[in-house]
Amino acid sequence: IGGLDDIIDSIKENVIYPLVYPNVFSKTSSLLSNPKGILLYGPPGCGKTMLAKAIAKESGANFINLHISTLTDKYYGESQKLVNALFSLAHKLEPTIIFIDEIDSFLRDRRSQDHEATAMMKAEFMSLWDGLVSDSSSRIIILGATNRPNDIDQAIIRRMPKRYSVQLPNLSQRVTLLKLMLKDAKLDENLKLEEIAKRTNHYSGSDIKELCRAAVMIPVREYIRSIDKDLNDAVIDTNDLRPVKLEDFFPSEKNDDFIRNATVELD
């Protein structure tokens, strides 16, 4: 995952290795067992969900992407049974990562008003979570992601000792992302990725991906329009595509220049 090297290194040491080599860590000290709660927080589009899936893949853990709607039931007491079934399944599949995206919407501050059934479901979830914390041999992790960490109940925060801030990429991280995303694209020899990185301050990883997709699409669109025949019958040679240029990433600037020049001529 481009641009998240420091976070990845920490996660490998504190999360993945204890899951992959439980005997080494548990025999050394119970203090080194895998954390039972991890929180990824930061702005939308910065790779929190992708990072969660990467943790599961690297550790070989089974990944349960929990949608809270699956735990809600209109019948009294059924939601608690579903929560119990979730943890029972997680135990059978160990090592297991239970991923909860937008965890703040599920385990928000208890000062907010919850329906009685929802409150009971949360209480059951937290009780079973506490059971994981007290069992150092358990290889189940609750992994949450949120854009609003301040909305999460402090009791939940305490259950997530490992917390990682996944923020907007800085300049060097944006260059890394651009290199990864454009590695297969045909680029103009004069195109400097550093220049694109400088112009994309405050862009998230997903913003940069969409920017690259749109830029690479422009030569393809031009090529398709230049073919005067049915595309199903045409012989497509990608070598005929022109390389992607800097202005393909920022076409609106080119249009602005055209408008400004046209205005001057009219005056």
- Dihedral over Cα of 66, 132, 60, 52: its sign: positive
More confident residue, 234 or 241: 241
Together in a domain, 96 and 216: no
Answer whether residue 29 shows pLDDT above 60: yes
| CATH number of the domain residue 218 falls in | 1.10.8.60
Strand-pair partners of 39: 144, 163
Three-class secondary structure assignment of the chain:
CCCCHHHHHHHHHHHHHHHHCHHHHHHHCHHHCCCCEEEEECCCCCCHHHHHHHHHHHHCCEEEECCHHHHCCCCCCHHHHHHHHHHHHHHHCCCEEEEEECHHHHCECCCCCCCHHHHHHHHHHHHHHHHHHHCCCCCEEEEEEECCHHHECHHHHHCCCEEEECCCCCHHHHHHHHHHHCCCCCECCCCCHHHHHHHCCCCCHHHHHHHHHHHHHHHHHHHHHHCCCCCCCCCCCHHHCCCECHHHHCHHHHHHHHHHHHHHHHC
Together in a domain, 51 and 116: yes
- Return the percentage of the chain with pLDDT > 90, whole number: 48
Per residue in 251-260, pLDDT tens? Answer: 876 544 433 3
- Rounded to an integer, the average pLDDT of 3-21 is 86
Together in a domain, 149 and 176: no
Together in a domain, 21 and 109: yes
Together in a domain, 158 and 217: no
Q: Which of 165, 186, 213 is the last residue of a domain?
A: 165
**The pLDDT value given to residue 238:** 75
Answer whether residue 214 shows pLDDT above 70: yes
Together in a domain, 9 and 118: yes
CA–CA dist 136, 34 (Å, integer):
8
- Rounded to an integer, the average pLDDT of 130-134 is 87
Together in a domain, 195 and 122: no
**Do residues 47 and 168 touch, judged by C-beta distance below 8 A?**
no
Give the number of domains in the chain. 2
Together in a domain, 140 and 48: yes
Answer whether residue 263 shows pLDDT above 60: no
Together in a domain, 57 and 127: yes
Together in a domain, 184 and 158: no
N residues, the chain: 267
Residue 174: which pLDDT band, with cuts at 50, 70 and 90? very high
Tokens of 122: 């949360």
| Mean model confidence pLDDT for the chain | 85
**The pLDDT value given to residue 133:** 83
Answer whether residue 95 shows pLDDT above 70: yes
Q: Which of 115, 135, 165 is the last residue of a domain?
A: 165
Together in a domain, 200 and 148: no
Domain carrying residue 28:
4-165
Q: Which of 116, 143, 165 is the last residue of a domain?
A: 165
Nearest Cα neighbor of 142 from 60, 65, 45 is: 65
- Rounded to an integer, the average pLDDT of 234-246 is 84
More confident residue, 189 or 240: 189
Most confident of 7-21, 187-201, 220-234: 187-201
Residue 215: which pLDDT band, with cuts at 50, 70 and 90? very high
User: Which single residue is written with the structure tokens 């504190």?
Assistant: 14
Answer whether residue 196 shows pLDDT above 80: yes
Residue 122: which pLDDT band, with cuts at 50, 70 and 90? confident
Nearest Cα neighbor of 151 from 97, 103, 116 is: 103
| CATH number of the domain residue 84 falls in | 3.40.50.300
- Dihedral over Cα of 177, 201, 103, 3: its sign: positive
Residue 38: which pLDDT band, with cuts at 50, 70 and 90? very high
- Rounded to an integer, the average pLDDT of 157-186 is 93
**The pLDDT value given to residue 2:** 64
Together in a domain, 11 and 94: yes
CB atoms within 10 A of CB 160: 23
- The values of phi and psi at residue 224, to 5°, are -60, -40
